[in-house]
Amino acid sequence: MNADMSEKSELRAELLGARRALSPRDVRETAAVLARHALELPELADAGTVTAYVSVGREPGTRPLLDALRARGVRVLLPVLLADNDLDWGTYRGPEHLEPAGRGLLEPDGERLGPDAVVTADAVLLPGLAVDAGGMRLGRGGGSYDRVLARLAAAGANPALVVLLYANEVVTRVPVEAHDHPVHAVVTPGGVTRFTEPTAPAGGA
């Protein structure tokens, strides 16, 4: 294990420990605040298609945001984990259309759209454990979203990349490896921190 991977492992353990100390009420109340701030982002306000994910456990909550985007008429795509850790996608049709999957995840029922469906997104909500002052994201280490970002780059797609985090998860520095990619904005209970100017939706002007 190289030094950056070791640093990442230590930082992941520290941040996951802090999440485990949160109460269900903390998570629930934070999810509502995160949704309110995220919905003010131009990248989401103007989006026709957003890829997101269903938060589980003590992850920063996404469910109020998913329902608010869907109520706006946004096409929301959710990931479906494949056996090789790549991601397929399905359309979010409401909480009653979510079903349990492996690793404690929830996935949409219905049609699978294929891994390339992500390239149609105007904005991509990425799960993460931290973002640093330069916009570099620390994921959980499974590599699924590294593949998503590589697929977007290969297609020449440039959706807005947004991460939802708790306040303590915006850190000074995240250890970086060659495949890591910066995000455009991070949303915390304190508001939005932007690392680039808003990106026009792919279908826009």
Judge contact between 102 and 81, C-beta under 8 A: yes
- Using left for φ > 0, alpha for ψ between -120 and 50, and beta otherwise, residue 114 falls in left
Tokens of 129: 């454990």
Please, what are the domains in the chain? Answer: 3-194 (3.40.50.10420)
SS3 of 161, please? strand
Separation between Cα atoms, residue 7 and residue 174, nearest integer Å: 9
Judge contact between 155 and 116, C-beta under 8 A: yes
Over residues 126-175, the pLDDT tens digits come to 999 999 999 999 988 788 999 999 999 999 999 999 999 999 999 999 88
Separation between Cα atoms, residue 78 and residue 97, nearest integer Å: 11
Judge contact between 37 and 187, C-beta under 8 A: yes
Over residues 88-138, the pLDDT tens digits come to 999 999 999 999 987 788 999 999 999 999 999 999 999 999 999 999 999
Predicted TM-score (pTM) of the model is 0.90
Over residues 20-73, the pLDDT tens digits come to 999 999 999 999 999 999 999 998 988 999 999 999 999 999 999 999 999 999
Does the pLDDT of residue 204 top 50, yes or no? Answer: no
Burial 140-175 (b: 16+ CB within 10 A, else e): eeeebbbbbbebbeeeebebbbbbbbbeebbbeebb
